[in-house]
Amino acid sequence: MQDVTTYMKTFGPLILLVVFLWVFMLRPQKKKDKEVKEMRNNIVPGDELVTIGGVIGKVLSVKEDSFVMYVGNDKTKMEFKKWAISEVTKKAAKAETKAEEPAEETEKKKIRKLTKKADASEEKAE
């Protein structure tokens, strides 16, 4: 029994320190890293961004690990890696509506196009 209490006195504070570091430092940092990764993966064309270098611009296109944005009044195109995003200042207004409608709208457009082609071919046949 004396050995157990000796070990507890020796290693108890060390174990408490490790638990304290994990709860108050490592866990919140992992949560913040997850949020930043999610923010970087959810950029869409039209978002306004600030890069880690301080460049402010609007996203033109998004690729797998990079994006193209235009900067300034002359709309100079620049390509950046996604890890260079510091913050999103404005989300694109169209991004929300496009996410909801593409399947239905695309299907309707295809039907209209096929209908027009069918009408045109019928008029030629007559």
21 plus 32 within the same structural domain: yes
Domain that holds residue 61: 43-92
Question: Six-digit token pair at 119?
Answer: 């009408």
Tens of pLDDT along 37-86?
Answer: 999 999 999 999 999 999 999 999 999 999 999 998 998 999 999 999 99
Backbone phi and psi for residue 51, each to the nearest 5 degrees, phi listed first? -85, 170
Number of domains in the chain: 3
Residue 58, SS3? strand
Q: What's this model's pTM, rounded to 2 decimal places?
A: 0.56
55 plus 73 within the same structural domain: yes
Backbone phi and psi for residue 18, each to the nearest 5 degrees, phi listed first? -65, -45
Question: Six-digit token pair at 85?
Answer: 């995003």
CATH number at residue 58: 2.30.30
Question: Six-digit token pair at 67?
Answer: 């994006």
